Amino acid sequence: MADFLPSRSYLSVCFPNCLLTSGEAEQLRKSKEIDKCINRDKTYVKRLVKILLLGAGESGKSTFLKQMRIIHGKDFDQKAKEEFRGTIFSNVIKGIRVLVDAREKLHIPWGDQSNQRHGNTMMAFDTRSAMTQGHGMVEPKVFHHYVPSIRSLWADQGIQNAYDRRREFQLGESVKYFLDNLERLAQSDYLPSQQDILLARKPTKGIHEYDFEIKNVPFKMVDVGGQRSERRRWFECFDSVTSILFLVSSSEYDQVLMEDRQTNRLSESLNIFETIVNNRVFSNVSIILFLNKTDLLEEKVKQVSIKDYFSEFSGDPTSLADVQRFLVECFRKKRREQQQKPLYHHFTTAINTENIRLVFRDVKDTILHDNLKQLMLQ
């Protein structure tokens, strides 16, 4: 009779859960759940749009990332605002120290000789002392102590004359904005506005990511430091990149790098771009050029001729449109001739939320269209 009974192996095939112990059933349930999660993760990764922000230092990458948080995420909380406040205070103190130092080196006389005392006070400030928080942030009580000196110095004609010659030394672009708003910053209950946060300057160290969704499509935006010392980290982010947004500070054609104080900043951006755009790793990656800081470029062309730095320029150096056309062509020429992939470009002002909102809407459509084509080929 036993010969006619179905074997355990036969039953396990026909009725897979019937002969399992409670422990085995639980293991099977967990295994199926894990498989389901793996498949879900695979689908997510396949749909994920990974955007890499590349470009030289101070091109606006971190500001662009802040804009993505403002536009597609949530507002900055109290803790984040307090951290940005410390960074802004540091920007102000560093900026006024740079101006005091530049005034002396450029042999510009004081407007009011008594401000020498305030200048000495600021130059004696120890940025590495226990008075500053970690990561280069200045505490409010420390900042408030120096406000009277900062106020007197910024009002001095000698400091203003030094500021007018700022292209001859390294000064943060947002320094004037914060010094002009010193009384607001000096309020005891001050917390940074959205615009303050966008203008706060802190060099990016390491890799910063921001995840968000647009119409159920997951995006991951990755910001890597642009200073020369940070670029070795770029290769850590190249895996599974959907698109590269390459940012250029279009107004810096007359300025040199902070790292060596010799290399033209625009030339540096062109060299980096040439390396990226011709890298075979990115043969199927859409590369979008952001010629950033249009607001500053518009002012710069009225004051400094691009022809003095790029002799091949043949247009009207005071025409914003002519200079922008020239810049786009400079970057186009860096691509190898055999490449047929289009180079998309946009003129941007990263501190202008509405401008970035409109530009990224177009960029998003371009990226999703190109990504869909790649998925169909897989």
In the annotated binding site, the residues are 58-63, 198-204, 223-227, 292-295, 350
State yes or no: is 156 an active-site residue: no
Contact in structure between 171 and 101 (CB atoms under 8 Å)? no
Annotated catalytic residue within 85, 97, 103, 201: 201
Which candidate, 127, 124, 143, places its Cα nearest to that of 183?
143
Binding-site positions for GTP: 58-63, 198-204, 223-227, 292-295, 350
Annotated catalytic residue within 156, 173, 223, 268: 223
State yes or no: is 209 an active-site residue: no
Distance of alpha carbon 242 from alpha carbon 218, whole angstroms: 12
Tokens of 310: 């790029």
Distance of alpha carbon 252 from alpha carbon 249, whole angstroms: 6
State yes or no: is 168 an active-site residue: no
Annotated catalytic residue within 195, 227, 263, 366: 227
Binding-site positions for Mg(2+): 62, 204
**Distance from chain centroid for Cα 181:** 24
CA distances from 108 to 112, 170, 210 (A): 12, 17, 45
Which candidate, 237, 334, 236, places its Cα nearest to that of 278?
334
Contact in structure between 53 and 68 (CB atoms under 8 Å)? no
State yes or no: is 183 an active-site residue: no
State yes or no: is 318 an active-site residue: no
Contacting residues for 44 by C-beta, under 8 A, at least 6 apart: 218
Residues annotated as catalytic (active site), given as ranges: 58, 63, 201, 223, 227
